[in-house]
Amino acid sequence: MFELIARDGQARRGRLRLAHAVVDTPCFMPVGTAATVKGLTPAELREAHTQIVLANTYHLWLRPGREAIEAAGGLHRFMAWDGPILTDSGGFQVFSLEGRRKLDDDGVTFASHLDGSEHRFTPEGVVEFQEAIGSDVAMVLDVCVKLPASREALAESVRLTSAWARRSRSAWGSPETQCFAIVQGGLDAELREQSARELVELDFPGYAIGGLSVGETREDMYATARSTAALLPAEKPRYLMGVGTVRDLVAAIDCGNDLFDCVYPTRCGRNGRAMTRGGELNVFNAAFTRDFSPIDPGCDCSTCANFTRAYLAHLFRAKEMLGPRLLSYHNVHLVNALMREARDAIAAGDWARFRA
């Protein structure tokens, strides 16, 4: 159940009740593709104020597989995370397998990127898998097209996504798992409107905006995210998939979206890139080797409280694993702080100033 608490312009402050906890929105979901947010323990995620994490059906299906996760008592026990988990359907990963997948009206057959073994995704099977492992939010199987794409390819994506959503809606049965549909259509306004209309008619608990952050310009992404969000029910959560920079997150909230995910904060952390309130920093910069200030003086995370830029620069140069861990923690903490400050600004009617 989603409760809309406050609005300021199109920005929304809400509360999403899931089986494992209540999630305050706007909210960023760190990506834990293979049942782990790279480099961070569940305790560290909690300490960084993470509310919900994302895992991926495609990767978990292949390894360790449904049987192992069920035997462990479900995904939450398997990865020792007691908060909510959203699982992506794996559709994006499958459709990225150029030359290794075969699509038909019933589903998609693909070869594993791990060992070449053949697997089959259907809308029903993907929902069943996510329910079986105990996901709090299960995404339906959709067809994502890399941009730029022809109108014919986009129209076929919308047709199959809607057809599969109807089947997913019928297959969904667990009261512990909420099922979200995914709007497709690329940058085509007419197809986006068609996709949203057909999915809203199915009355899902929530809706995602998919098919963006796949090659279009930032301006096109923002415009499409805004217009698509306006087509979705105000009383249900809206999830813009695949955004994670500070700039994109603020713009996405301004477009009227509530949930976000991206590998960006942890990928930056693993590669020596720090997200700060003053912009991004590359710790390999020679200037930092004798800079004994924190990564971000305005941040209260444990990395900034205990370690300096010089020390982080040393760790990365020495290829010590602690460096990527400390920086990943800081980046996740900073994005979560951004979300908390955004919620406060919306509730206070101060969003325009905060956005600027």
User: Could you list the active site residues?
Assistant: 88, 261
Q: What is the DSSP string of 103-132?
A: EETTEEEEE-TTT--EEEE-HHHHHHHHHH
Q: What is the DSSP string of 262-290?
A: ESHHHHHHHTTEEEETTEEEETTSGGGGG
| Half-sphere exposure for 72 (CA within 13 Å, toward CB) | 17
The CA distance from 32 to 118, in Å, is 24
Total residue length of the chain: 356
The CA distance from 167 to 202, in Å, is 10
Buried b (16+ CB within 10 A) or exposed e, 252-283: bbbbbbbbbbbbbbbbbbbebbbbbeeeebeb
Please list the residues that pair with 104 across neighbouring strands.
107
Number of neighbours of residue 219 by Cβ within 10 angstroms:
9
The backbone torsions φ and ψ at residue 195, rounded to the nearest 5 degrees and listed phi first, read -60, -50
The CA distance from 144 to 212, in Å, is 9
Q: What is the DSSP string of 189-224?
A: HHHHHHHHHHHHTT--SEEEE-S-SSS--HHHHHHH
**E strand segments, the chain:** 2-8, 11-17, 22-25, 27-30, 53-56, 85-88, 101-104, 107-111, 118-121, 137-139, 178-183, 206-209, 238-240, 259-262, 273-276, 279-282
| Half-sphere exposure for 150 (CA within 13 Å, toward CB) | 3
